[in-house]
Amino acid sequence: MMERKLLEMADEIKRLGQDLRVSAEQLEHLESDAEEARIRSMVSETPLSEATFHEASRHAEAMRKHHDDVQRRIVDLETRQNELLDRMFGE
């Protein structure tokens, strides 16, 4: 029972690790887009460029929240996995 739970946790950590890497790449791209939009909005000072900047910033923030959530889930699973290992080995 405990071994199966450990294997499930390891699989989930692996899956989340892959998700974390993908979200980190996407976050980097979205933050770069938002920064470019910010500069364009400062230079052109038009309502459209300002709206584009705000939209790009919202997308980057949503990805940042997702990335942070995945990181928290990994830490939580690793903690639970360590606790389970401690119980298995009586430490």
**Residue 91 vs residues 7, 11, 28, 84, 87: alpha-carbon distances, Å:** 20, 24, 41, 10, 6
Position 53 scores a pLDDT of 95
Q: Running DSSP on this structure, what letter comes out for residue 90?
A: T
Position 52 scores a pLDDT of 95
Which token pair is 19?
């998700």
Position 2 scores a pLDDT of 83
Show the domains of the chain with their CATH numbers: 2-88 (1.20.58)
Q: Give the count of beta carbons closer than 10 Å to the beta carbon of residue 63.
A: 19
Position 60 scores a pLDDT of 98
pLDDT tens-digit series, residues 17-56: 999 999 999 999 999 999 999 999 999 989 999 999 999 9
Position 91 scores a pLDDT of 61
